[in-house]
Homo-oligomer: A and B are copies of this chain.
Amino acid sequence: MPSAPRARRKEDARARILDEARRIVLEQGFEALTMRRIAEAAGYSAAALYLHFANRDAIARALGEGGMRSLLAALTEAAAVPDPVARLGALALAYVGFARSDPETYRLIFMEQGFAASALGGKDEAGAAAFQLLAGAFQDLHRAGRLKPGQDPAALALTFWILVHGTASLKLTCSAFLSPSEEDLLATALDALLNGVLEPDPTGPNSPGRSIRR
């Protein structure tokens, strides 16, 4: 076991490497994240990085995990809103706010292939906790009897995730085609999700779902 000061110094090096890596991804994108660039920014030789991380993938994974913890922190703050409906608005804003403020990290976690499969597919605690915050709002609505009969809170949480991810990711890649702001897009989408867009049909609710599930 290394002595306390040595262990601390080693952790410092690790943290410095990750800090610079995060900055490179933020400023130049994920594909600019090379061992040489990280090393130069952190004041090391490229070879020295391999004393602290097994390889480039390990650095990318650490970045993604850190990003997921940031997302969890942002969502946790929003989840403090008591009323579940208002909370969903706050959660949606926090989610797309994270994607907008750190788009390359959002890409890395949710739009790159390989990361979500390995980090989330394993047992990423932060990711599971983040999703639980979304699910909790729908569970609260369910317990309060505010959901229509037959609505499944867990399935609705997935729909909510799809909605905020769709907003965040389309805004990142197709912003030229998506002129409304994230706020306007989310306001329209959440209103539709909660209250519906169709006039009530006296002969029973419309169900494209039936035809989809056939």
A residues contacting B by CB (< 8 A) are 29, 85-86, 88-90, 92-93, 107, 110-113, 115-117, 120-121, 127, 131, 141, 145-148, 151-152, 155-156, 158-159, 161-167, 169-170, 172-178, 180, 183-199, 205-209, 211-213
Contact = CB atoms under 8 A, between A and B. Distances in A.
A86 B208 CA distance: 5
B177 A127 contact: yes
Given A188-B209, A195-B206, 13 more contacts: A89-B212, A117-B173, A147-B198, A148-B198, A155-B184, A159-B163, A161-B166, A162-B185, A169-B169, A190-B212, A192-B196, A195-B205, A196-B197
A156 B188 contact: yes
A174 to B, nearest CB: 4
Q: Count this chain's copies in the assembly.
A: 2
A67 to B, nearest CB: 14
B195 A146 contact: no
Given A156-B188, A156-B197, A158-B185, A176 B120 contact: yes
A18 to B, nearest CB: 23
Contact of A148 (B92, B131, B155, B196): B196
Given A176-B121, A177-B121, A209 B197 contact: no
24 contacts: A88-B208, A107-B113, A112-B173, A113-B173, A116-B173, A117-B175, A120-B174, A120-B177, A121-B176, A127-B177, A141-B198, A148-B198, A151-B192, A155-B180, A156-B188, A159-B163, A162-B185, A163-B189, A165-B169, A166-B169, A187-B212, A191-B208, A195-B196, A196-B197
B197 A147 contact: yes
A209 B180 CA distance: 14
